[in-house]
Amino acid sequence: MPAIVVKNLSKQYKTVLAVDDISFTVKRGSITALLGGNGAGKTTTIAMLLGTLQPTAGSIHMLGIDMLKNRYRALERMNFSSPYVDLPRKLTVRQNLRVYGKLYNVKNLEDRINRMAEELDLREFIDRPVGKLSAGQQTRVALSKALINKPELLLLDEPTASLDPDTADRLRGYLDDFRKEHGTTFLMASHNMKEVERLCDDVIMMKKGKVVDEGTPKELIKRYGRKDLEEVFLDIARNTGTRENAA
Amino acid sequence: MTPAFTRVQAVLLRHIYVLRSSPPRLIEIIYWPTIQMVLWGFISSFFANKGPALGGSMGVAAFGTLLGAVLLWDMLFRTQLGVTLSYLVEVWARNLGHLFVSPLRPWEWWLSLMIFSILRALVGMLPAAALAIPFYGFSIFDLGLPMLFFFFNIMFMGWWLGFLIMALLLKYGQGAETMAWALTFFLAPFCAVYYPIASLPQWLQPFSNALPAAHVFEGLRALVHQHTYEAIHMWWAFGLNCIYMCVSLFVLTIAFNGARKAGTLLQSGE
């Protein structure tokens, strides 16, 4: 059974059709990228997948659970991280992880926090308020919050934003190892095409609220006759190449 | 421990951490009830002692009523503020996104805000009530068990008022923030805090009678003046509170679902 099944999903705001009848599936245990330029509908799609935005039409099944009817059962087994949603800045890293660990009903929470601190290198600042940390440190803390419940499905928005190349690279390695160890499925929105090429098994391309193409990074590069995913992205964004033309 | 209980505990812990990390916030909670108590205590004391010279006299009973009313009114306001500010703290911290994608059910969140508002109100009220004993020889605790019913009903009203304001904030964003401070005070003249319902104009009295707090303050006056506990006031207050709580949770649910439809759930800015 796929981790995510989206069928005929649409979101209409008064006069704007933000997501237009999209369908896709995400395989269990895969890392899939949701790509598209600004206004493509990625954020709207992710918000609907998380249940914070109600679709106008269509269905969403996460881990086999109907999100429109029973989203809390699915949310217990999922998590989310985004540099655009803050963790409470007055609370220390440890306090934040305690609060979110309890929200996700994590067993042996203190052990889990210590393990996260070890693996994501948080020990040095674990008792400092999140608001006093650098942007890169905050991104790591946000990621540790997202992994605290060992989610079966993780939605990531720009997971390595604000990180220096070295830390970003180590973090990608960590996410890949985490996936192998726990079988977690990742759906990530990113503008870093190198990251997507390195990490992702599948790519879903969105434009103007529609899914315009999908496949593995290699398939897409081959289909568009380009040397890397960045060029494919530009082709799609600028209409200089299409799936049909490429085929 | 059930998962629901653990999640309620998580939200409580989150707000306790905020208070612990910020001494000014903690001081502010104690500061206002204490200042109110001191101010009204001296005013009452002045009228009690100098009343005859001013053409009237204010007995000890009226003095007790006034101080009791000050404490109860402040409890109402603090409880409402406890609910509303806990929501606003999440808006200011831009943390709603994480909360709403967690398994925290709305009712668990609301319950934890109610519990936290009790803690907040007690932290603010207890020092003020304790100060009134040495300063004015007035102990609200001497009023006995009925006082518990008064407090319960007053807090009950604070909760549904808090939820109504939360619904407004969800609908109109932070632009409606002043409601957090203003709405309860708008009701003050009709709640018969410092005077009986009968002293209001005839046409306003039904409106006053429809407010749970007005019954609590009538009950307080009966207890202090006539030393009788009029349970009927408490039952009226309780019944009205139950109705208003259902209405406010219904309105809040509509506002929540409306925000989910409009995509404004995570965009609670101005």
pLDDT band at B152 (very low <50, low <70, confident <90, very high): very high
C-alpha to C-alpha distance for B251 and B243, rounded to whole angstroms: 12
Q: What tokens were used for B171? A: 């609908």
pLDDT tens, A170-211? 888 889 899 999 999 999 998 889 889 988 999 999 999 999
Contact residues on chain A for B93, CB-CB shorter than 8 A:
86, 88-90
Check if A43 contacts B (Cβ < 8 Å): no
Check if A88 contacts B (Cβ < 8 Å): yes
pLDDT tens, A101-141? 999 999 999 999 999 999 999 999 999 999 999 988 998 99
A161 compared with A24, residue with greater pLDDT? A24
Contact residues on chain B for A85, CB-CB shorter than 8 A:
94-95, 97-98, 266
Closest partner CB to B261 (pick from A54, A75, A101): A54
**Running DSSP on this structure, what letter comes out for residue A32?**
E
Contacts for A239 with CB less than 8 Å, ≥ 6 apart: none
With H, G, I as helix, E, B as strand and everything else as coil, classify residue A80. strand
Answer whether residue B128 shows pLDDT above 50: yes
Among A112-121, A184-193, B52-61, B176-185, the minimum mean pLDDT is found in B52-61
C-alpha to C-alpha distance for B177 and A231, rounded to whole angstroms: 47
Given a contact cutoff of 8 angstroms between Cβ atoms, the answer to whether A145 and A116 are in contact is no
Answer whether residue B25 shows pLDDT above 60: yes
pTM of the model: 0.88
pLDDT at B43: 83
CA angle B102, B103, B105 (to 5 degrees): 115
pLDDT at B79: 93
B153–chain A nearest CA distance, Å: 30
Instruction: Count how many residues are written for chain A.
Output: 247
C-alpha to C-alpha distance for B191 and B150, rounded to whole angstroms: 14
| Mutate: best of A43, A52, A78, A145, partner B, most B CBs <10 A | A52
Q: What tokens were used for B206? A: 């039904």
Contacts for B212 with CB less than 8 Å, ≥ 6 apart: B153, B156, B157, B236, B237, B238, B240, B241, B244
Check if A51 contacts B (Cβ < 8 Å): yes
Contact residues on chain B for A104, CB-CB shorter than 8 A:
102-103
Instruction: Please give the full DSSP string across A106-128, using - where no structure is assigned.
Output: -SSHHHHHHHHHHHTT-GGGTTS
CA angle B156, B157, B159 (to 5 degrees): 65
Closest partner CB to B18 (pick from A53, A54, A90): A90
| Per-residue H/E/C for chain B | CCHHHHHHHHHHHHHHHHHHHCHHHHHHHHHHHHHHHHHHHHHHHHHHHHHHHHCCCCCHHHHHHHHHHHHHHHHHHHHHHHHHHHHHHHHHCCCHHHHHCCCCCHHHHHHHHHHHHHHHHHHHHHHHHHHHHHHHCCCHHHHCHHHHHHHHHHHHHHHHHHHHHHHHHHHHHHHHCCHHHHHHHHHHHHCCCCCCHHHCCHHHHHHHHCCHHHHHHHHHHHHHHHCCCCHHHHHHHHHHHHHHHHHHHHHHHHHHHHHHHHCCCCCCCC
If you measure CA to CA, which chain B residue comes closest to A70?
B103
pLDDT band at A29 (very low <50, low <70, confident <90, very high): very high
Closest partner CB to A52 (pick from B6, B7, B260): B260
Check if A19 contacts B (Cβ < 8 Å): no
Given a contact cutoff of 8 angstroms between Cβ atoms, the answer to whether B224 and B66 are in contact is no
Question: What is the percent of chain B with per-residue pLDDT over 70, rounded to a whole number?
Answer: 93
With H, G, I as helix, E, B as strand and everything else as coil, classify residue A72. helix
What b/e sequence results for B110-130 when a residue is b if at least 16 CB atoms lie within 10 Å of its CB, and e otherwise? bbbbbbbbbebbbbbbebbbe
Question: Using only C-alpha atoms, what is the Rg of chain B?
Answer: 20
CA angle B205, B206, B209 (to 5 degrees): 85
Main-chain phi, psi angles of A186, to 5 degrees: -115, 135
Once rounded to an integer, what is the mean pLDDT over residues B216-227? 88
Once rounded to an integer, what is the mean pLDDT over residues B194-218? 95
- A186 DSSP β-pair partners: A31, A154
CA dihedral B143→B150→B41→B221, nearest 10 degrees, is -80
- Tell me which residues of chain B have a C-beta less than 8 Å from any C-beta of chain A: 3, 6-7, 9-11, 13-14, 17-18, 21-22, 93-95, 97-105, 257, 260-263, 265-266
Answer whether residue B94 shows pLDDT above 70: yes
Distances (CA, A) of B157 to A210, A216, B45, B171, B237: 48, 58, 29, 21, 9
Residue B210 burial (10 A CB sphere; 0-12, 13-18, 19+): middle
Given a contact cutoff of 8 angstroms between Cβ atoms, the answer to whether B77 and B158 are in contact is yes
Q: What tokens were used for B150? A: 């008064």
Once rounded to an integer, what is the mean pLDDT over residues B141-162? 91
B144 compared with B197, residue with greater pLDDT? B197
CA dihedral A229→A232→A237→A239, nearest 10 degrees, is 180
Closest partner CB to B10 (pick from A53, A99, A129): A99
Average pLDDT of chain B? 88
Q: What tokens were used for B142? A: 């001497």
C-alpha to C-alpha distance for B85 and B78, rounded to whole angstroms: 10
pLDDT at A242: 53
Q: What tokens were used for B106? A: 């709305």
Once rounded to an integer, what is the mean pLDDT over residues B181-206? 92
- A32 DSSP β-pair partners: A187, A202
Given a contact cutoff of 8 angstroms between Cβ atoms, the answer to whether A7 and A23 are in contact is yes
Contact residues on chain B for A99, CB-CB shorter than 8 A:
10-11, 13-14, 17
If you measure CA to CA, which chain A residue comes closest to B22?
A90
Answer whether residue B215 shows pLDDT above 80: yes
B160 compared with A195, residue with greater pLDDT? B160
Contact residues on chain A for B97, CB-CB shorter than 8 A:
52, 80, 82, 84-85
Contacts for A70 with CB less than 8 Å, ≥ 6 apart: none
Once rounded to an integer, what is the mean pLDDT over residues A51-77? 95
Check if A17 contacts B (Cβ < 8 Å): no
Answer whether residue B51 shows pLDDT above 80: no
pLDDT at B57: 52
pLDDT at A17: 94
Q: What tokens were used for B224? A: 């202090």
Answer whether residue A39 shows pLDDT above 90: no
Once rounded to an integer, what is the mean pLDDT over residues B70-88? 91
| Complex ipTM over 0.90 | no
The continuous run of DSSP H or E covering A175 comes out as: helix A165-182
pLDDT at B270: 46
CB within 8 Å: B14 and A88:
yes
pLDDT band at B52 (very low <50, low <70, confident <90, very high): low
A56–chain B nearest CA distance, Å: 8
